[in-house]
Amino acid sequence: MTQKTQANISLGDPTYLKLQGFLQEEAYLLDQGAFREWLNLLDPEVRYVMPIRTTRERVHGSGLVDQMVFFDENYASLKKRIDRLDTEYAWGEDPPSRTRRFIDNIRIKQLDERTYEVRSYFLVLRSRGNVPDYQILSGQKVDTIVVYDDGCKLKHRLIYPDQATLGVENLGIFI
């Protein structure tokens, strides 16, 4: 991911609020199961990737590995996943999970005139069936978002999970 030296856009700046609103809208649509509306928020050239976390010593840094990933998607494959949910045979999400996505600690840098790097923390609670225990995912997203006059589009997303062994039985949900 490009690391520009610019300062973060401060909390309360109109651009900050616009991008925060975008992430909240996205989380809302996904929690509602409005996947096709969510697809409208993605750039046709979107890349959607979830690297793997490994447990390493402190000296080796974050332990993130990108040679192998949990998601390796573009617009067509995300659409395929959404089409699948509509087949009546997507058993892993039918009956669907109840999900609640929380977005926080948003930090934004401008990359060029219209493009921003948006880093955020996520917490996803997933409830399935009548099991009272939640499946939980937490981590950081590093997004590249383009701001147009009529709205924003997600161009690139990297999802960094905190868990080295995921505590969800599948990733049948989007993050």
Q: Is 54 in the site for another protein (CB under 8 A)?
A: yes
Residues 6+ away with beta carbon under 8 Å from 50: 69, 70, 71, 158, 159, 160, 161, 171, 175
Applying CB under 8 A, which of residues 35, 70, 121, 134 lies at the interface with another protein? Answer: 70
SS3 at position 140: strand
Q: Is 15 in the site for another protein (CB under 8 A)?
A: no
Maximal C-alpha separation, the chain: 48
Residue 155, Cβ density class (10 Å: 0-12 exposed, 13-18 middle, ≥19 buried): middle
Applying CB under 8 A, which of residues 39, 90, 111, 123 lies at the interface with another protein? Answer: 90
- Residue 161 vs residues 49, 82, 108, 136: alpha-carbon distances, Å: 11, 22, 20, 11
Q: Which stretch binds another protein (CB under 8 A): 5-13, 24-32, 34-42, 166-174?
A: 166-174
Q: Which stretch binds another protein (CB under 8 A): 17-25, 66-74, 106-114, 138-146?
A: 66-74
The two tokens of residue 53 are: 């976390």
Q: Is the dihedral of CA 41, 44, 47, 50 positive or negative?
A: positive
Applying CB under 8 A, which of residues 31, 43, 93, 162 lies at the interface with another protein? Answer: 93
**Least distance in Å: CB of 71 to another protein?**
5
Q: Which lies closer to another protein via its Cβ, residue 5 or residue 67?
A: 67
Residues that bind another protein (CB under 8 A): 50, 52, 54-57, 60, 65-74, 76-77, 80-81, 83-84, 87, 89-93, 164-172
